[in-house]
Structure 1
Amino acid sequence: GFLFPAFSDRSSDVNAIGYYVKDAKKAQPAFMQEVLGCEAKRTAAEEKKTFHGILKDVISEEVEDAKTVILDIQQDLNDMVEEHKNVFENEPVLLTPPAIREAMAEKGLSEEVISKVEEICEEAFGDTPPLAENLIDSKALQTHAAAKKANVLALEVESLKQKLEEKEALPEKEVILQVSAEKLPDIQTEFINGKKCIVIPLEEDEHATINGKHWDNAPF
């Protein structure tokens, strides 16, 4: 559907046409050009598809796991948009070459790949770079963030499991001490009441913690 004249700033605009399609992926550019006489522009969905296609084609040439790198780039774009909004409120962030380079920084990509993405994006979008927020796949980022969190938790669980296994493997009567490097020269072994003891001198301003309990010269 379309509306002429367009409704803009609470008044009619005879220099514009309001155009609507149910599915943004099917914008019917031929209808806009041949029937309405308007220059066809990409929709937000088309811009996102174009940008993701460029990233996939170029990054896949150098990186095996291109999907993860692309999601990381999207996350940086999302962070960039959020930070910009906090400072400039409603001012949009355009996907200019500097913005592309910033989002791709520290991703382990070569200068050749970054420059190639910049060049192809300039060719694809011309003098009207798209809004950065239109290129962000929020659902994919949520899934990606959840997967990252799950991986971190899995690593933590594995680390705890290894520590428990190491603890269980220790002899029951083994004593483990953890002291600062400065105290090492002061540690001595003495026989007290016929028993071999480890003696660690403590200064007045020093304290010890044994099995989680603070030692204050009193018996446990």
Structure 2
Amino acid sequence: MNEKEVGELRRRFKADKSAITHVRGCYVNEKKEIVSQFNQSLALMSEEESEKLLAILRRTLSGGIDRNLIDISFATKQVAEGEEHKLLMALRDSGLGDEEAVQAFFQKAIDSLDLEGSYLILLAHDRYDVPYRAKDGETQKDASEEVYSYILCSICPVKQTKPALSFQARESRFYNRQADWLVSPPEVGFLFPAFDDRTTNLYDALYYNRDVGENHENFAQAVFASPIPMPAQAQKETFQSILGETLGEECSYDVVQAVHDQLRELVEEHKENKEEEPLMVSKGAVKCVLLSCGVSESHVNAFDSRYDDSFGAETRLSPRNLVDAKQVQVSMPDVTIKVSPEYSALVETRSINGKKYILIPAEGEVEVNGVPIHIDG
């Protein structure tokens, strides 16, 4: 799914647009025991409460594509006879009315999740009458092409607040606010089936993780039984490690800067062109950058081999997962220098009288802790 398709569904999660009539769920304590279950009708909630519940569900469709939101693909055999896919279809086709399927899913989720403390498992079903979209991008609500039926799952931690002193303005008095339990934004969740090309794709699901450093692999395997990509943060750390270890003495500031500049430019161009499909980069593209920087063929081949071992030869990665588009950071054990990418070329590395230095031209006003200083010369 791309950002436009996700955005189209996100806009559904409002009281006046959603066809969600109820939310099923269960409350799980820190011992992984189901304390209570519910089938909450949105019609019986106040408008403010239902809006907040829909907002929590909507958060499961937030974040970046290939960072927080990951496409999960099912093999043809799984769709035909896989137990995991069959369970998801039973939940969707019954509109969460298949009690056996709901209970089986709750138990599967609880057994595979490794979350600290209590949490809620929320399940919602929606039917979206997809409006026809003309070539010029305009939608025609009265010309629907299909009804997209899907389920959304949100796993939300429940955290206890601390007692506090509160002030009631209307009564002009202080009072003690007791500890309460609050529903936090989703930690993990998914959408099934996917909404690819604005139509139902039973061969895909969209998997959500709030933390880009965690992908809750056990939960994903239990629900989808399909391979999932390395977490975004792990992709970045692995890519950095591969560059540093395979290029050896040729891994200079200029080489790393060139690779990062190239990836950042791809991100900027993709954003400026407003391209719908997610941006991905191949191993070959990175190798071309390395060769253009004068890196020896032997070191490029070493990079090639390590990339295959870590990611897979044909795996394409999102540049957004590999570089920080907002800053360049140069770190030493006791010093960290952060530079805007557009000024990264000002940074130099040089050896003077046998000592290694990082040099930055001191042009314009220089401040130390907010105090303007004078530099002799």
TM-score normalised per structure 2: 0.34
| 2:346 corresponding residue in structure 1 | 149
Show CA shifts across 1:124-171 (max 9, x none): 222222133432221333726445437564499xxxxxxxx9xxxxxx
- Rounded to whole Å, the distance in 1 between the matches of 2:291 and 2:195 is 42
1:123 aligns to 2:320 (yes or no): no
| 1:182 corresponding residue in structure 2 | none
TM-score normalised per structure 1: 0.54
* Of 206, 224, 228, the match for 1:40: 228
| 1:121 Cα offset (Å) | 1.5
Count of matched residue positions in the alignment of Structure 1 and Structure 2: 156
Amino acid aligned to 2:244:
K
- Rounded to whole Å, the distance in 2 between the matches of 1:124 and 1:76 is 22
CA 1:144–1:62 in structure 2 vs 1: closer, same or farther (change >3 Å)?
A: farther
CA 1:10–1:129 in structure 2 vs 1: closer, same or farther (change >3 Å)?
A: closer
Q: Is the 8 A contact 1:100 1:118 kept in 2?
A: no
- Rounded to whole Å, the distance in 2 between the matches of 1:84 and 1:113 is 30
Q: Is the 8 A contact 2:279 2:318 kept in 1?
A: yes
Structure having the higher strand fraction is: 2
| 1:55 Cα offset (Å) | 0.7
1:28 aligns to 2:216 (yes or no): yes
Runs of 5+ unmatched residues, structure 1: 157-164, 166-220
Residue 255 of structure 2: SS of its match in structure 1?
helix
Cα RMSD between the aligned structures? 3.6
* Of 40, 47, 54, the match for 2:242: 54
Show CA shifts across 1:7-54 (max 9, x none): 444444333223211102111122211333222222433322221121
- Rounded to whole Å, the distance in 1 between the matches of 2:286 and 2:344 is 25
Structure having the higher helix fraction is: 1
Amino acid aligned to 1:120:
R
Matches within 5 A, 1:69-148: 69-80=255-266, 82=268, 94-126=280-312, 127-141=314-328, 143=339, 145=341, 146=343, 148=345
CA 1:38–1:113 in structure 2 vs 1: closer, same or farther (change >3 Å)?
A: same
- Rounded to whole Å, the distance in 1 between the matches of 2:243 and 2:228 is 24
Runs of 5+ unmatched residues, structure 2: 1-188, 329-337, 348-358, 365-376
| 1:73 Cα offset (Å) | 1.5
Amino acid aligned to 1:143:
V
CA 1:29–1:71 in structure 2 vs 1: closer, same or farther (change >3 Å)?
A: farther
Q: Is the 8 A contact 1:95 1:131 kept in 2?
A: yes
Identity of aligned residues (%): 28
Show CA shifts across 1:60-115 (max 9, x none): x224x645632332112323555688899556664334311222134343221112
Residue 209 of structure 2: SS of its match in structure 1?
coil
Greater Rg over alpha carbons, structure: 1
